[in-house]
Amino acid sequence: MDIPKTYDPKQAEERHYANWESQGCFAPEINRDPNAPVYSIVIPPPNVTGSLHMGHALQHTLMDVLTRFKRMSGHRTLWVPGEDHAGISTQIVVERELKREGTSRHELGREKFLERVWQWRHESGSRIMQQMRREGASVDWSRQRFTMDEGLSRAVNEFFVRCYEEGLIYHGEGMINWCPRDQTALSDLEVDKEAQAGKLYYLQYPVKGSDRRVTVATTRPETMLGDTAVAVNPTDERYLDLVGATLLLPLVGREITVVADVFVDPLFGTGAVKVTPAHDPNDYAIGARHELPLVKVIDQHARMTAGAGAEFEGLDRYEARERVVAKFEELGLLEKVVDYEFSISKCGRCRTVVEPLISLQWFCRQSELARRPLDLMRERREPRFVPENPYEKVYTNWLENLHDWTLSRQLWWGHRIPAWYTEDGRTIVARSEAEARERAGTDRLTQDPDVLDTWFSSALWPISTLGWPDETPDLEMFYPTSVLITARDIIFLWVSRMMMTGVKFTGERAFDDVFITGTIFDKHGQRMSKSKNNGVDPLEIFDKYGVDATRLVLASIETTDTRWNENQVESYRNFANKIWNAARFCLMNSEGARVGQGFAERRADWALHDRWIVSRLNRTARIVGEAIEKYQFHLAVQTLYHFFWDDFCDWYIELTKSEVTGAEASPAREAARSRVLTVLEQALRLLHPFMPFITEELWQMLPGIGDEQLHPAYAAAPLTIMLAAYPQAREELIDERAEGEMQAIIELVSRVRNIRSEMNIKPGEAVPLVVGAPDAEARAVFEAGAQQIARLVRASSISITETLDAPRASARAVLGGGAELAVPLEGLIDFAQERERLRKEEEKLTKEAERLRGQLANENFVARAPAEKVAELRQRMTDIEQRTSALRQSMEAFAE
RNA sequence: GCUCGCUUAGCUCAGUUGGUAGAGCGCACGCUUCACACGCGUGAUGUCGCAGGUUCGAGUCCUGCAGCGAGCACCA
């Protein structure tokens, strides 16, 4: 067999994914066990306009690890892929295209424009779905969904209609965030607060029938044109006599009153607040409490309206601001202007400063929908957040403080609001136009022109992708989903809303667990972003180091924020190569061997290194299995890395090499080869969820692979490692004694290697080795392993006796259990140097002995610490004493 | 203002019931040892942000402080 020395990831990546996909390995139907436990995940649907970034790759890796692990463990697994239509984002992308072509959506008209968007979606809108194949994501493509699919749109209408009928959705005037550039309403979650250096203007309003003036402070002087009151705190003695008084609004001449409202903070500014109910959310609330009139002075283009007066009409809001301030100054009513930092709301999409406006929109009363999810959290702590802190609290606090959700968007791309208006002014909300006509008793209907917030359909994602509102077998089988893996910035926009709708329509949580990933920053700790152009493209990393290596890095990130570190990928690329070469070695020596064979019936007949590696393997399977269940991906990766590299490669392969590479075919050689292959095959299975490609590539090459490796649930399925049974730890094979004995051999070998290195013995030069072990069992272990030890340390001979019997001119070392070793170095040894080496060793031991002695002499410790802890320390003390005394004897040999 | 994180080896990070500080990279020395130089062997490196406290014992629990960061509220 001719296997290259270096692993080429691309080659394997190209082949296997297509095979898995075409053979239907990703679909839950591949599982033939009717009683199989179910595991399901819905993907956070990426925006159809997006391209794969590290955050996606991170989430997808974790979802794939879980899905593959559960699938191999015999679960009926489903991971649903799909995309979000991403209302504004997509519309902007297509509008930009139109602009390049010299046209616009308005020229095209609604129908043509939508056709154009669909065309765009089909031609270039599924990039991420294609990129996911590269990642190895084992999603069920037969169930791929798009939020604008017919079925999902039906779910949207059903959701809307039911909520409307229950009064949870209503149509009315309300204070909303308006983006003057995108020309649409936005929900509170779609605007970002940003710190802004600005000014605070102190304006004076004359009191009618008096010389007195009331000074108000504002950051937005232009809105004074729409003021309909000034508010003060009812307890503020400065203004007590003015409550109810009439003020003359400068520039406008309108008479407005002074009202008392607890909202006003007497300590801020002047303690008097101008109230513009039509253009500020807080003022709107004050206005409602005091039944103040609404005067609209700013329009949807952020320009002043006729209501602002002829002098200002048509001015941009910022021009108007300057003009107003100038006027106040002229009139001597501008008290002062001070620098002031405040926060400003910007459109999450285009960064334009949003304008709070009163507008006729559709709203959803979310607080009603939040009630049952809150109960679920309080009563059953569902869903379970990972990490629990701070997200459980963040989620709960959010649900407890919900405002109404602005649903309608003045866009064309999205789910059209299922509301129709009759000519006589009635509103009909229905699942379809046909239903609306029937209900209205007329065909003369006009549908509401607006579409729904893109998050409205996202809120239904777990149920709509599974078939809701129909009672489908998928919904029955896969809901509630097992886990949601997502980024923290959409907990409110998405996670909490999925819980609200899921609970409302099914009575059950949308997912058992919610795993919030960490954030990947660039190497300077900056957030990766398009504008900063500091993003690391996952596909470039895949090209450079392979998908498997990248996945190991991503899986290790877990929930903590991390700076991107390419060295880490390189080290896992090296790990992949290590796996490749270990397998290469096994395959080069596989003639006559088969996976699954080579281990004798009776374990008592196994050699120490076989008992040891099987013990390590099972221990690894236990730790890894438990770690994945607990979302401790980093622990799982570390454990696998060290098992494979340290235990399997550095020790097991080296220990068995002479047997495995024997020149003559023999039953013993073939059995040894089979054992190595068997351990390798199990290791590949353990690694597969993290490294799907290299493990499949190698697994397919192993001799003896067949149905018996597959999990019973996949009995007749194609032979692929992704359907092999995930190794379960067999506790009876975890052998503490074998591990202890092996540890003694490892220590012996290490000490000799240390001497060789320190004494500058040439690697090729063989030296004799003398071992003295007072303990008979230890002696037996060393004797049994003598040949292997000799190979590992390049010993020309090994002599093992009860007491050390070595020439004076030897380098020495002590081992556990009072054993010691010597490497005779006639003519080569520098006595002074060796004395110094041993003295340092003794110093270390003495230091530790002192600490231990102190601890054991402490009556409080002995009395209060757990008995086993005390026993453990005593055991260590004994060992150190033995070592020290052996060491002292060695040193005597060098006494001058 | 409220809530919460992080601060461990030069770098990026682990450290799961409190019980002798770890990994990878990097560094030093030596190796074309017949799977792998993307490798092998050996070695050096930390007063675990600071100050207190609880405890026989604290990187780990509590309090305060500092630096960095996140979310929420407010911002007239």
Tens-digit pLDDT profile for residues A178-198 = 999 889 999 888 888 888 888
**What whole-number distance in Å separates Cα of residue A687 and Cα of residue A638?**
11
Strands A481-486 and A511-516: parallel
Region A232-253: what's the mean pLDDT? 89
* A301 CA to B69 C1' distance (Å): 37
Which nucleotides on chain B have any atom < 7 A from a protein Cβ? 3-6, 11-16, 19-20, 23-25, 29-31, 33-43, 55-57, 70-76
A500 phi and psi angles, rounded to 5 deg = -60, -50
Q: Are A456 and A156 in contact (CB under 8 A)?
A: yes
Residue A370 exposure: Cα atoms within 13 Å on the Cβ side = 18
**What whole-number distance in Å separates Cα of residue A260 and Cα of residue A388?**
44
Sequential DSSP letters for A564-626:
--HHHHHHHHHHHHHHHHHHHHHHHT-TT--TT----S-GGGS-HHHHHHHHHHHHHHHHHHH
* A786 CA to B8 C1' distance (Å): 41
Q: Where do the DSSP E strands lie in A38-168?
A: 38-42, 76-80, 82-83, 145-146
**What whole-number distance in Å separates Cα of residue A591 and Cα of residue A403?**
71
Region A676-702: what's the mean pLDDT? 97
Q: Evaluate the omega torsion of the peptide bond into residue A266 and state whether it is cis, within 30 degrees of 0.
A: no
Q: Are A468 and A474 in contact (CB under 8 A)?
A: no
Residue A625 has pLDDT above 60, yes or no: yes
Region A70-81: what's the mean pLDDT? 97
- The reported pLDDT for the residue numbered A492 is 86
Q: Pick the residue with more confidence: A295 or A872?
A: A295
Scanning every strand, the nucleotide with its C1' closest to A216's CA turns out to be: B76
* A40 CA to B27 C1' distance (Å): 47
Residue A339 has pLDDT above 70, yes or no: yes
ipTM: 0.95
* A88 CA to B74 C1' distance (Å): 30
**What whole-number distance in Å separates Cα of residue A624 and Cα of residue A729?**
10
Strands A76-80 and A38-42: parallel
* A292 CA to B74 C1' distance (Å): 23
Region A661-686: what's the mean pLDDT? 94
Tens-digit pLDDT profile for residues A473-514 = 999 999 999 999 999 888 888 999 999 999 999 999 999 999
- The reported pLDDT for the residue numbered A1 is 56
Residue A757 has pLDDT above 60, yes or no: yes
| Average pLDDT score, chain A | 91
As a dihedral over the C-alpha atoms of residue A155, residue A160, residue A166, residue A172, rounded to 10 degrees, the angle is: 180
Which among A260-264, A869-873, A887-891 has the top mean pLDDT?
A: A260-264
Specify which residue's alpha carbon is closest to the C1' of nucleotide B19.
Answer: A869
Give residue A171's pLDDT band: very low, low, confident or very high (50, 70, 90): very high
Region A803-807: what's the mean pLDDT? 87
* A434 CA to B69 C1' distance (Å): 54
| Tokens 């979802």 found at | A63
Q: Evaluate the omega torsion of the peptide bond into residue A387 and state whether it is cis, within 30 degrees of 0.
A: yes
**What whole-number distance in Å separates Cα of residue A129 and Cα of residue A66?**
19
* A558 CA to B16 C1' distance (Å): 15
DSSP type of residue A403: P
Count of helix runs (H) and strand runs (E) in chain A = 30, 29
Scanning every strand, the nucleotide with its C1' closest to A855's CA turns out to be: B56
- The reported pLDDT for the residue numbered A679 is 97
Residue A13 exposure: Cα atoms within 13 Å on the Cβ side = 23
SS3 A561: coil
- The reported pLDDT for the residue numbered A426 is 93
Residue A531 has pLDDT above 80, yes or no: no
Specify which residue's alpha carbon is closest to the C1' of nucleotide B16.
Answer: A632
For chain A, what is the radius of gyration of the CA atoms? 37
SS3 A227: coil
Q: Pick the residue with more confidence: A676 or A825?
A: A676
Residue A132 has pLDDT above 90, yes or no: yes
- The reported pLDDT for the residue numbered A322 is 92
Scanning every strand, the nucleotide with its C1' closest to A489's CA turns out to be: B71
SS3 A260: strand
**What whole-number distance in Å separates Cα of residue A233 and Cα of residue A273?**
9
- The reported pLDDT for the residue numbered A861 is 82
Region A229-244: what's the mean pLDDT? 90
Scanning every strand, the nucleotide with its C1' closest to A521's CA turns out to be: B12
Write down the H helix ranges in A182-334.
Answer: 281-290, 317-330
Region A712-739: what's the mean pLDDT? 94
Residue A429: its H or E element: strand A427-429
**Considering only A283-292, A342-351, A543-552, which range has the smallest mean pLDDT?**
A342-351
SS3 A554: helix
Give residue A145's pLDDT band: very low, low, confident or very high (50, 70, 90): very high
Give residue A227's pLDDT band: very low, low, confident or very high (50, 70, 90): very high
Tens-digit pLDDT profile for residues A760-799 = 888 888 999 999 999 999 999 999 999 999 999 999 999 9
Specify which residue's alpha carbon is closest to the C1' of nucleotide B34.
Answer: A661
Instruction: Provide the percentage of residues in chain A whose pLDDT is more than 90.
Output: 66
Region A428-438: what's the mean pLDDT? 94
Q: Are A190 and A86 in contact (CB under 8 A)?
A: no
Give residue A218's pLDDT band: very low, low, confident or very high (50, 70, 90): very high
Residue A113 has pLDDT above 90, yes or no: yes
Tens-digit pLDDT profile for residues A12-49 = 998 999 999 999 999 999 999 999 999 999 999 998 88
Specify which residue's alpha carbon is closest to the C1' of nucleotide B2.
Answer: A397
Q: Are A672 and A610 in contact (CB under 8 A)?
A: no
Scanning every strand, the nucleotide with its C1' closest to A650's CA turns out to be: B40
Residue A895 has pLDDT above 70, yes or no: no
Residue A216, both tokens = 């108000």
